[in-house]
Structure 1
Amino acid sequence: MRIAIDAMGGDHAPGVVVEGAVAAAKEYKDVELTLVGDKARIEPLLTEQLPNLHIMHASEVIEADDEPVKAVRRKKDASMVVAGRLVKEGAADAMISAGNTGALMTTGLLIVGRIPGIDRPALAPMIPTLDGVGVLALDLGANMDATPEHLLQYAIMGSIYRSKVHGIERPRVGLLNIGTEAMKGNELTKAAYPLLEGAPIHFVGNIESRDILQAECDVIVCDGFAGNIMLKTLEGTASVIFSALKTEFTRSTLTKLSAAILKPGLAAFKNKFDYTEHGAAPLLGLGGLVLKSHGSSDANAFKNAVRQARTALQNNLVGAIAVEIKNGK
């Protein structure tokens, strides 16, 4: 298995990217990792030589504020674009980047290409749940608008992902909505509902956003606009809660003592909502495996992204989606 990593993408690149890649190379000896980026900046960070970790020089970087389509077309030697080209040409089986999300989506579409029959690839991150298993949500921002047919494709791809990568035998698929009744929602969700009912998936109906963290389903399907709002709301709420708890537990000597007693439980609770444990979000629907890491990912997140890519490759995720979409046409 060969995985290309955009070493220049993310808030803390290339330092944490290299650190995470080194940790992954040590643990997963059956994976060949290629760090794509500025060799002069990457090489000094490698404190040891590993036989399954390599560098491919790329002279340009796509910045966070670059316009995605222009950047991908003009910066042909950008680390992200070069990594995408490796996947397209078969020199890599997967790529990982924490860079500009729009540019990565464009790289996926223009460089890697879509699976035949897929109209729009979807960004599919994991949303942590109280049971620690998580919910795969798609689309959470790759496409602001969607048709009922797009939601159907998201549902099929998400179901295959949870089955192949996470080993869930019969993933429960829900449709994000404002109520659980079949005819609730806007025109999009009302039209998508019967399509999902008739699809070769375990559709469990409409799911309200307040029930997401309770793990009412294994896959939640929505358009990118609603999905991104839901994700940012959950992230903001979690941040406020943890900040408020910290303030309260440091208010006095008594609360500090209480915090010391509760620390193991609070740490375990916080870890359930730690995105670094999930590694990266796949862009499902592309002809090659492309994963998007969080912009502020640390070394642990990059290591887990490699683990995630490795599992997806072992289970032929892209091939399984292609076969299912072809058979469904």
Structure 2
Amino acid sequence: MQNIIVALDAMGGDFGPQVTVPAALRSLLLFPELKVILTGDQTAITSKLSLLVGCGTYPRLSIKHSDKVISDSEKPSLALRHGSESSMAMAVDLVANDFANACISAGNTGALVAISRFKLKLLPGLEQPALISTLPTALGNKTWMLDLGANVSSSPDSIFQFALMGSILAEQHLGRLPRVALLNIGSEKIKGNHLVKHAAKMLYQNKLVNFIGYIEGNQLLYDAADVIVCDGFLGNICLKVCEGTAQLFMDKLKLTLVGSSLRTWIAKKIFSGLFAELQTLNPDQYNGASLLGLNGVVIKSHGGANVLAIVNAITEAVYEVRQKVSTHITDRLKSVLCERHY
């Protein structure tokens, strides 16, 4: 069995070692082939480890010390210039220097994109990387969506490349050629701006992507496509709206189940099963956005991730290393560039 080494930025996110350390330990139990390198403050990490497992040894877990953390408010340009010794940059460095197969951080998104792009470089022929993650659907399936915020603006060529990369990743999970759609203000071909129309023209002409046309925002969670493509500005807004709506719905439902009145007792009988079912909408279940298009696996966790969410991000990293997603993307890109279909 091939060993898989994951570098985890232990200091990233809202909770740092409080969630990253137990998530690393839980992931080691899930994957016998996994090794984890925690980058960050050694004192904070070992303190949390001692609380969880006492004075035992950790044969598949190691620590690379850094006393620097990139703040959420730091500009990507400054993080790139001055953050080379940060816990985030160290995690990326381990991948760039072949000491790890993948890295994960819940820290500053812009900084992670900038540092990863600088250290790992884009795959040949790509214009931009893209963040991709899954959304739940009404039928219990998953839909992959990108770009979720790696880039503020993109060209039609980049949108086409996002569609290609998203299709390749989804295909590894689904075992079939996925349905790919562009997010637009309407499903009719006449709708949309220059960016969307130009990208659609290239996708219709290409045989390597199963392009089914446009979908609207109200179809995001209804299994209308396996891969939904848009620019990063729109994608990030859509993701946050979906997460906020799901959280609002669950919070409202929780309130109906609090108390000891007859009405509350009846509500508990009616809605307790529904509440358990709705946990599938919890964003933590889908944590771990892949930064596609780089010479290495980089996973971005959301900043408020809990232990389960970080475990899910590590799981995605392990899967992408096993499936050699970067290699598949490189091979497909070569085919497209050779055929000059766009």
TM above 0.5, yes or no, is: yes
**TM superposition shift of 1:37:** 0.7
Q: For this pair of structures, how many residues does the alignment match?
A: 328
Q: Does residue 1:108 correspond to 2:116, yes or no?
A: yes
In 1: Cα distance, 2:258 partner to 2:276 partner:
19
Query: Does the Cα contact within 8 Å between 1:114 and 1:121 map onto a contact in 2?
Result: yes
Indicate the residue corresponding to 1:301 in structure 2.
309
Q: Secondary structure at the match of 2:220?
A: helix
In 1: Cα distance, 2:251 partner to 2:22 partner:
28
Indicate the residue corresponding to 1:20 in structure 2.
23
**TM superposition shift of 1:66:** 1.1
After TM superposition, the structure 1 stretch with the greater mean CA deviation from structure 2, 176-185 or 42-51, is: 42-51
**1:152-207 C-alpha deviation (Å, 9 max, x unpaired):** 1000100111111x234121111001111122111111111111112211111101
Matched ranges for 1:163-182 at <5 A: 163-164=171-172, 166-182=173-189
* Aligned partner (choices 127, 139, 143) of residue 151 of structure 2: 143
Query: Does the Cα contact within 8 Å between 1:108 and 1:114 map onto a contact in 2?
Result: no
Q: Which amino acid aligns with 2:314?
A: V
Indicate the residue corresponding to 2:73 in structure 1.
65
Q: Does residue 1:322 correspond to 2:330, yes or no?
A: yes
Indicate the residue corresponding to 1:38 in structure 2.
41
Q: Which amino acid aligns with 2:23?
A: G
Distance 1:303-1:236 versus aligned 2 partners, 3 A rule: closer
In 1: Cα distance, 2:257 partner to 2:322 partner:
45
Q: Secondary structure at the match of 1:193?
A: helix
In 1: Cα distance, 2:286 partner to 2:61 partner:
22
In 2: Cα distance, 1:242 partner to 1:313 partner:
34
In 1: Cα distance, 2:158 partner to 2:210 partner:
17
Q: Which amino acid aligns with 2:149?
A: G
Q: Secondary structure at the match of 1:302?
A: helix
Q: Quote the RMSD (CA, aligned, Å).
A: 1.5
Q: Does residue 1:6 correspond to 2:13, yes or no?
A: no
**TM superposition shift of 1:135:** 1.1
Indicate the residue corresponding to 2:163 in structure 1.
155
After TM superposition, the structure 1 stretch with the greater mean CA deviation from structure 2, 139-148 or 15-24, is: 139-148
Indicate the residue corresponding to 1:89 in structure 2.
97
In 2: Cα distance, 1:246 partner to 1:37 partner:
37
In 2: Cα distance, 1:82 partner to 1:270 partner:
38
Gaps of 5+ in 1: none
In 1: Cα distance, 2:327 partner to 2:270 partner:
47
Q: Secondary structure at the match of 2:33?
A: coil
Q: Does residue 1:185 correspond to 2:192, yes or no?
A: yes
